[in-house]
Structure formats: structure tokens, C-alpha cells
Amino acid sequence: MTPNHHIVLRGLDGTTPLGFLAALGLVNALRECLPDLCLAWTTDEGGWVAQLGSSAPIRQADLLNWLDKMLVRSLDQHPARLYEEVKQQPGNVFLQVRQAAAVGHRREADFLAAIASNLAPAEATSQLQTTRRDYHVGNIKSILGRTTRSHLDRTLFKPWDYADPMDNQSLHLDPSEDRRHAYQWHKPSGDPTRRQRGTMLGANRLAIEAFAWFTVWPVGGALKTLGFSGFGSGETRWTWPIWTPFVPPDLIPSLLALAPLQDDPIGESDRRRLRHMGIAAVYRVRRILVGKTPNFTPARNIA
């Protein structure tokens, strides 16, 4: 589809995992505000940046207004509260969320399907979760509460300056948060610069909205996540496509779930097929353990 209007979001670089997630989160957050919303990627200064399309005009200020309206600030109003609830009463939560779900009202059901499974142990987490289990909900709560319009403005429309503090408000999704001591000035634990800069709060806020795209399912006592392959610290990889035609939100999960993306290497015929589908590039990160904390490596273009 070719939208009548579109806007290029120079901040959302799809070659980084956090940039890609933030773009998906933005689409998820705005899908009820903008008619015929769609997403594509275009090149800009060394990266693939997101461009949002719609049949209605999109201006920067309007985009921020809609986000102000759609993004809740309290954990109680966000499906992320299910992290805690599902731990306490797993059976009931799954039942209640399932019963409450409807075709036009499936936000909580999608989120729950992305963070837990009633067929897996309670301690199993999504492979997309890279913060420590005991900090995760606290960080989400901080991010929901602290994100302002200016954070979102910097995230969407400007090259990222990583000028927001990392302490207790980062989902650890950006490869730059791999802070091994030998490669930086300060000791990672107690690093005073964490309180000053290091992340993009707005990107983290939008990424939370993208979690619902990444459904999990139980495999041998653990949770496997859509778009990921392998288990274990050295084997887990996340692969995502970058597409150039405008794509509506409902089609995005299908693109994320394309089976050939998980091949290593992707076969020539599959690469040709992906090209014909409009997928201009494929990026892959590894999920590694730095000390005890999971981290994504910088993305590599694999096709």
C-alpha cells in the first residue's frame, strides 16, 4: 500500500534492536489514532530509519500529542502490571485475560502472550527480556512514569544522543549498554555516569509497547520468543527484517515470523524470496551474557 502522507522518523534506526523495537512500539501505540497506519524503512545517514504512513496528514506535533494521549504513565493502567499478577495467581490471570479479550480489545491478551505461558514454569522469561528479573518490573514502572514529551521528541525526530540516565530506567535493549570494565573508564557497578546519561528513555518507553508483537511459547521448560532462535548465552540470536514497502500493523507479525530469517546462513533462494517480498535487509544480534546480565551485541547485516 502507498499512503497519502508519511513522515520520516530520523531517530528510529532499524539497524539497532532498540530502534527497531521503538518503531514497532510506536505503530502499536498509534494504530487506533491514525487511519490506515503503516510502517516502512528508508535509508538515512548510515542507517535504516522508520517512516510512518497514513491516509491522514502526520505532523510532528500531532504525533507527540497522540502519544501523550495513548501512552499511560502508571503501571496499573498498563498491561505490564501482568508481570506481577501472573506470578501471584497464574491460573486466574490467564483465565481472566482470556475471557476479557475480544477482537477489538486484545491488548492485554497479546501482552500476556508475550511475557508468559501457562504451560511453562513461572520463572521462565521472554528472550526479549534483557534486564535482570528482579529489576525488570521496577524499570518498566520508572520508564512509564518518567517519560515526557521531550524524551519522545528526541527519540523520534533527532539522532539519538543517549543523554538520559540509565539507572533503573533502561530495558537494557541497546548494544551500547554492554559496559565491560576493560572497555570503559568506570567500574560498571556503581558507575556514576549511569546516573547522568547512557540511554534514550523515549525509545525504551516505545519499546515496551512493542513487546506485545513478540509472542512466546514453551519449549522444554523455557520460553521461546518470536524472531529468536537457539537457547543459551552463546546460541540465542534475534533476527529481524527491514522492509521498504509500507506495511500495515497486522502484517508486521508475519514479517517477524518469517521462517527463513532464522536460517544460518540464509539460503540464496530464500534471500531472493525475501527481496521479492520487499525485505531490503536482515539484521541479527546475539543475546550474550555480560557477567550475569544479558545483552544484545551490535546488529550484523546478514542478508
Partner 1 sequence: MLTLAWTYLTGYARATDPARRDAPEWPPHPARVWLALAAAFFETGEDPAEGHALEWLRTLPDPQVWLPLQAGGRRHVVTAYVPVNDKAEGTALLQSAPLARSKQPRTFPAVWVGDRPCFLHWPEAPDSDRYRPALTQLCARVTRLGHSASLVQMWVAERLPTPEDSFAGWLPTEEADSGLADLHLRRIFQGPSLERLRETFQAGRRPLVGLAAGYRAATFTPPPMTNTTAFDRDLLVLTQVDGPALPVTASLQVMQALRDTLMAHCPQPPPAWVSGHDAQGQPLADRRGHLALLPLPFVGYEYADGRLLGVALAFPTEIDRRERGRVIRPLFVNQQGKPADVSLRLGRLGVWVLRKRAWDDTRLTLQPETWTAFPRGAKRWASVTPVVLDRFPKANRLTERANWEYEVGSILFEACQYAGLPEPVEIDFGTTAWTPGAPRAIAKERPVRGASPPAQARLGDGFPPYLLKGARAAKPQVHVFLRFAEPVVGPVLLGAGRFLGYGLFKPLDFFVPKRS
Of 7, 11, 12, 13, the one binding partner 1 by CB under 8 A = 13
Buried b (16+ CB within 10 A) or exposed e, 177-188: bbbeeeeeeeeb
Q: Which is nearer to partner 1, 136 or 237 (CB)?
A: 237
Residue 66 burial (CB count, 10 A): 17
Where in 36-55 is the site for partner 1 (CB under 8 A)?
43-48
Instruction: Provide the 8-state DSSP code for 271.
Output: H
In the complex, what is the shortest distance from the CB of residue 243 to partner 1, in angstroms, rounded to a whole number?
A: 12
Binding string, residues 266-295; x marks residues near partner 1 by CB under 8 A: -xx--xx-xx---xxxxx-xx---------
Residue 77 burial (CB count, 10 A): 10
Where in 197-216 is the site for partner 1 (CB under 8 A)?
197
Q: Which is nearer to partner 1, 83 or 160 (CB)?
A: 160
Q: Which is nearer to partner 1, 138 or 298 (CB)?
A: 298
Q: Which is nearer to partner 1, 117 or 170 (CB)?
A: 170
Q: Three-state secondary structure along 120-162? A: CCCCCCCCCCCCCHHHHHHHHHHHHHHCCHHHHHHHHHCCCCC
Q: Which residues pair with 289 in a beta bridge?
A: 294
Residue showing cell 512509564: 144
Q: At how many degrees (to 10) do helices 201-210 and 133-146 cross? A: 110
Q: How many residues bind partner 1 (CB under 8 A)?
A: 43
Range list of β-strands (E), the chain: 5-13, 38-44, 47-54, 164-165, 198-199, 216-219, 222-225, 228-229, 237-243, 279-290, 293-296, 300-301
Where in 171-190 is the site for partner 1 (CB under 8 A)?
176, 180-183, 185-187
In the complex, what is the shortest distance from the CB of residue 153 to partner 1, in angstroms, rounded to a whole number?
A: 16
In the complex, what is the shortest distance from the CB of residue 248 to partner 1, in angstroms, rounded to a whole number?
A: 23
In the complex, what is the shortest distance from the CB of residue 270 to partner 1, in angstroms, rounded to a whole number?
A: 9
Q: Which long-range contacts (CB under 8 A, 24 or more apart) does 187-190 make?
A: 188/291
Q: With contacts defined by CB under 8 A, name the span among 13-21, 62-70, 83-91, 213-221 that binds partner 1.
A: 13-21
Say how far apart CA 34 and CA 43 lie, in whole Å.
24
169 close to 143: Cβ distance less than 8 angstroms? yes
Binding string, residues 100-139; x marks residues near partner 1 by CB under 8 A: ----------------------------------------
Contact between 258 and partner 1 per CB under 8 A: no
Contact between 238 and partner 1 per CB under 8 A: no
Task: Using CB under 8 A, list all residues that contact partner 1.
Answer: 13-16, 43-48, 159, 161-163, 176, 180-183, 185-187, 197, 267-268, 271-272, 274-275, 279-283, 285-286, 297-303
